Amino acid sequence: MSEKKSDQSIIKPLENNAVFLCGDLDDLAVESLWNEFGIQSWLYLNPERNEWNPRAKVRSFERKEEGREEKTRFKVIPIDGTNLNEHLKNDLLEYMRTEFKTPAVIQCSTATRAGIPYVLYLAEKFSLSFETAMRVARDMELNVTTRENFVQFLKRSIEKKSLSDSEVIFRQLFEKESSTYTYLLGCAETRECLLIDPVLETVERDLRVVDELGLKLKLCVNTHCHADHITGSGEIKKMRKEVKSVISKRAGAMADVLIDEGDVVQVGTSVKLKCLATPGHTDGCVSFVLGDNTDVFTGDALLIRGCGRTDFQGGSSETLFDGVTGKLFGGLPDTCKVWPAHDYKGRMVSTIGEEKRLNPRLGAGKTKEEFVQIMKDLNLPYPKKIDASLPRNLKCGAEE
Ligand SMILES: N[C@@H](CCC(=O)N[C@@H](CSS)C(=O)NCC(=O)O)C(=O)O
């Protein structure tokens, strides 16, 4: 292989030599990066056949150094001014999520385009808004911040899709006797949809909304085995044979699909709900996180300025505290919208940040001990329909 020499190799070390944004590198520079820093992944942003592509050079070093256990993972994702689109965004994000391991090199011709995957990576890793990501990139003096078309691409890519965006069709529906929210989530592309926590009394209304929006109902998902109302799942399954019911396997209830922590409930291409076990109101309570952590459906675990009671159905205040503060407050961004299963005061939606700050039971730095005492002192009357609801809900709403 002939030697490559550039007038000047641009190498911008970041994060204490964990990431290097590079331009064309002469052979010496490739060798010294590879040797000195043990590069694990190397992302190249010019076409594979570009004369400066260092893949062959790196492989030749690897052949010489037999003791080295892992090969450098090499990936080519060409970026040029003409392919700044959704495809590219998905390819880059997929790569940064699954293959990008530091120490890493991101290389183009002048270390300018190399800033694109790096800023995407930072934004995702630290849940940065576009504005914050750009401020960080400017502080790091990344060349990418000076190119308007690249900045606009980053803006489009980093701004999170939420339920108000068009990929996911979303309706919040209300049942007034039990003050229950049912959520309709549909995929705009395939028209498939699901219902979260449908209520028996409002089945016909909900199915009418599904039909009016030209959607096809696939799943009825329950966040837990409810004690205050009968789920609509059984009735809907009678009326729409293709519908399947879903509940946590820890709920001890019947359903077509039993799920657990980490499972993803999906309809169509855009509705993907990740299951987080948030027990404490009941053993089998789960929350569902939509796609990119923009929205969470918390069932009775976290309510707006409140939470589910813990005084029956295997409830535990300690467990509820751990799940909500750990997984929801601790694991989701402040901007994540909170959609509860009930509200008794006419409120419809909150955010993780709001609840962390303002929830009088679990937020504002309340300790577990304080929370346990608050829950002990609630003295709520049992739900009026508990005797009728529990046995039916254990059978997914089916009649005796
Ligand atoms: N009055 C209602 C029941 C109200 C109630 O107990 N709600 C539950 C969720 S449904 S089991 C709850 O956890 N409430 C917490 C709270 O702080 O209110 C009825 O009779 O149905």
How confident is the model over 55-91, as pLDDT tens digits? 998 888 877 776 666 688 999 999 998 999 888 988 8
pLDDT along the chain (400 residues), means of 10: 68 95 93 90 95 89 70 92 87 87 95 96 86 95 96 88 69 98 93 97 98 96 97 97 97 96 93 96 97 92 98 96 97 92 97 95 96 97 95 86
CA 308 to ligand 1: nearest atom: 13
pLDDT at residue 7, as a whole number: 66
Q: Using a 6 Å cutoff on CB, does residue 343 contact ligand 1?
A: no
Q: What is the CATH number of domain 168-393?
A: 3.60.15.10
pLDDT at residue 118, as a whole number: 97
> Could you tell me whether strands 216-221 and 180-187 are parallel, antiparallel, or unpaired per DSSP bridges?
unpaired
pLDDT at residue 148, as a whole number: 95
Pocket test for ligand 1, best of 224, 225, 309 (most atoms within 8 A of CB): 309
CA 380 to ligand 1: nearest atom: 6
Q: Using a 6 Å cutoff on CB, does residue 383 contact ligand 1?
A: yes
Query: CA nearest 115: which of 143, 90, 93, 79?
Result: 143
Distances (CA, A) of 315 to 61, 286, 326, 379: 60, 13, 18, 14
Give the whole-angstrom CA distance, residue 359 versus residue 113.
44
Q: How far is the CA of 284 from the centre of ligand 1 (A)?
A: 17
Same fold for the pair 11-157 and 168-393: no
Minimum CA distance residue for ligand 1 atom 4 = 383
The answer to whether 268 and 308 have CB atoms below 8 angstroms apart is: no
Q: Using a 6 Å cutoff on CB, does residue 308 contact ligand 1?
A: yes
List the beta bridge partners of residue 49. none
Q: How far is the CA of 340 from the centre of ligand 1 (A)?
A: 13
pLDDT at residue 376, as a whole number: 97
Helices (H), 240-339: 317-323
Distances (CA, A) of 326 to 74, 101, 237: 37, 27, 35
Topology given in CATH for the domain delimited by 11-157: Protein-Tyrosine Phosphatase; Chain A (3.90.190)
Residues 6+ positions from 78 with CB-CB distance below 8 Å = 45, 46, 47
> Domain ranges in the chain?
11-157, 168-393
Q: How far is the CA of 357 from the centre of ligand 1 (A)?
A: 23
pLDDT at residue 1, as a whole number: 44
